[in-house]
């Protein structure tokens, strides 16, 4: 991907540097677009080739870049080679860039960016993601909203990359408030409660699904087996109060003591999480298990993973905790928001009011559904713009702005591009002339489309959605600027057709990225 351009550059570099192309591909990056000047399409950082040298023996990177550039030649793919600050820059033949990118976007559809050479050789893994995990005996707190949307994003991304993903909702139900005591794990009891809950409604807007619902009560008996195993290994200690503990430090450090059983013999969260992890390995034989919870549980999971290790389960290193920060200042007109249904109601109400005040709003078949989808997009983008670990200050006014870096703006851009296709698409979408897309606005969009695989790769490495969010917002701004100058209406058919292809490619990639984030794109608003 990057439509094969990266590999073509790597092949030429490999002949000069005497290195396999595979060793060079990830060192060649797409150049971020600039509003001030036209930039090259790809660059190779000379630093990345010298990373094995220590600082004292490193040659001047500027000199090295110039020497390397002199040995390279332009060809049918690369039309210009230049140097920057320690980089060698490559400009792709403009007509080839236009034709290849647009054809690739349409051909690959929802897989655009995912077939990249950046992902080649990626082993297909079995991945378990535990997220959402509310206590079904209580109202759903807004904290579960973050776990739900973050976990859904991670599962979506892993699935898109071809991994086998199992989504688990681990329901907190200790205490058995539904009269399930003595009946063991009864799935219908959970489902019945969930069907009538606002969280289930949220799952259906967001397209969130789970492959397994399990609960703490399900691991009550298995928790006793965990305690017996720890005891047999001489790791379980009884305190004067009658509780059972494990000292992870081995020297009595109070901060490293984990309590696993109360004095009355009942197990605690840590014991049940140990039992759940062991059970899931037996059931799914996972390569990775990811827990998505707030950062307050960081120590808890560190201790759980450490205990699995000392119990002899080497696969504990495959377990990963993805922590997130706290949302501050989320209030409705009635006051503090505590429950999810308050958030959903507030989203719907505010979005309907916003849409009613916009002059561009069209008559909609289902304004409630559109308001909810746009509102949830606004909420997700606000949440995903920064580092997941960071706390952030919530602002309803900022969330629902139709201009600027918001989810409303993304939805508005998608709807506007869809409308453009609906209006003119039938007559123009057969073929296009690449010479009609050489304006700076067109080239900037094409260059940005070229970068999508790198953005997906970065998010796949650190599980942070902010890379995709930033990319989509920039794409929407570029489309907005192009829409003002690259007219489809009243343009010659050849020009109109080419521009329509460009805008269709933008809408397709925009929709792909939004769906990965858990957003359902709207076609009208």
- What residues are annotated to the active site? 138, 141, 144
Measuring CA to CA, which residue among 110, 106, 147 is closest to residue 323?
A: 147
Identify the three-state secondary structure at position 172: strand
Rounded to 5 degrees, what are φ and ψ at 19? -130, 150
Structure tokens at 420: 């453009």
Judge contact between 166 and 354, C-beta under 8 A.
Answer: no
Type and span of the H or E element at 444: helix 440-450
Collapsing DSSP to helix, strand or coil, 311 comes out as coil
The span from the CA of 255 to the CA of 481, in Å, is 56
Neighbouring CB atoms inside 10 A of 164's CB total 14
Considering Cα of 429, then 434, then 437, then 442, what sign does the dihedral take?
positive
What tokens does 219 get?
A: 């691991």
What does the alpha-carbon distance between residue 409 and residue 378 come to, in Å, rounded to a whole number? Answer: 8
Beta bridge partners of 293: 323
* CA separation for the pair 19, 73 (Å, rounded): 17
> Do 150 and 165 contact (CB within 8 A), yes or no?
no
> Which tokens sit at 125?
């893994």
* Distance in angstroms (rounded) separating the CA atoms of residues 457 and 209: 24
**Beta carbons within 8 Å of 435's beta carbon, 6+ residues apart:** 95
φ and ψ of 286, to 5 deg:
-70, 155
CB atoms within 10 A of CB 390: 12
CA-angle at 122, arms to 119 and 125, nearest 5°: 130
Q: Report d(CA 348, CA 196) in Å as an integer.
A: 19
d(CA 78, CA 8) in angstroms, rounded, equals: 9
**Beta carbons of 248 and 306 less than 8 angstroms apart:** yes
């Amino acid at each position: 991907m990057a439509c094969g351009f990266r590999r073509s550059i790597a092949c030429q570099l490999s002949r000069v540097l005497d290195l396999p192309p595979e060793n060079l591909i990830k060192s060649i990056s797409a150049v971020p677009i600039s509003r001030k000047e036209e930039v090259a399409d790809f660059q190779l950082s000379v630093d990345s080739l010298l990373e094995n040298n220590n600082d004292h023996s490193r040659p001047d990177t500027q000199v090295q870049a110039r020497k390397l550039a002199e040995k390279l030649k332009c060809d049918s793919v690369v039309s210009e080679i230049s140097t920057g600050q320690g980089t060698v820059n490559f400009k792709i033949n403009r007509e080839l860039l236009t034709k290849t990118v647009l054809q690739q976007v349409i051909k690959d559809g929802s897989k655009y960016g995912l077939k990249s050479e950046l992902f080649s050789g990626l082993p297909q893994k079995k991945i378990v993601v535990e997220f959402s995990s509310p206590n079904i005996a209580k109202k759903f707190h807004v904290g579960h909203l973050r776990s739900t949307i973050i976990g859904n994003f991670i599962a979506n991304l892993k699935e898109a990359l071809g991994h086998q993903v199992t989504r688990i909702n681990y329901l907190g139900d200790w205490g058995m408030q539904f009269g399930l005591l003595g009946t063991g794990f009864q799935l219908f009891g959970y489902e019945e409660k969930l069907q009538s809950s606002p969280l289930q409604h949220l799952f259906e807007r967001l397209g969130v699904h789970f492959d397994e619902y399990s609960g703490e009560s399900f691991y009550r008996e298995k928790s006793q087996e965990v305690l017996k195993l720890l005891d047999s290994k001489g790791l379980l200690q009884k305190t004067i109060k009658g509780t059972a503990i494990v000292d992870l430090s081995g020297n009595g450090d109070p901060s490293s003591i984990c309590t696993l059983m109360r004095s009355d013999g009942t197990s605690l969260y840590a014991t049940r999480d140990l039992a759940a992890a062991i059970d899931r390995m037996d059931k799914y034989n996972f390569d990775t298990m990811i827990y998505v919870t707030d950062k307050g549980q960081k120590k808890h999971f560190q201790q759980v993973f450490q205990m699995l290790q000392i119990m002899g389960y080497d696969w504990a290193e495959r377990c990963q905790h993805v922590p997130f920060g706290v949302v501050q200042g989320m209030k409705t007109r009635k006051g503090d928001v505590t429950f999810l249904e308050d958030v959903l109601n507030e989203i719907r109400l505010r979005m309907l009011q916003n849409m009613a005040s916009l002059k561009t709003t069209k008559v909609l078949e289902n304004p409630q559904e559109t308001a909810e989808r746009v509102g949830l997009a606004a909420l997700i983008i606000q949440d995903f713009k920064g580092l997941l670990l960071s706390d952030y200050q919530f602002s309803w006014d900022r969330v629902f702005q139709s201009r600027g870096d918001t989810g409303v703006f993304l939805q508005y851009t998608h709807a506007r591009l869809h409308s453009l296709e609906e209006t003119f698409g039938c007559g123009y979408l057969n073929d296009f002339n690449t010479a009609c897309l050489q304006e700076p606005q067109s080239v900037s969009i094409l260059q940005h489309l070229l970068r999508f695989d790198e953005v997906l790769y970065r998010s796949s490495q650190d599980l942070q959605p902010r890379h995709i969010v930033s990319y989509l917002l920039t794409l929407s701004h570029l489309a907005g600027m192009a829409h003002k100058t690259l007219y489809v209406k009243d343009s010659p058919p050849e020009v109109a057709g080419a521009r329509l292809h460009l805008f269709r490619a933008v809408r397709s990639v925009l929709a792909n990225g939004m769906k990965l984030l858990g957003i359902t794109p709207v076609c009208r608003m």
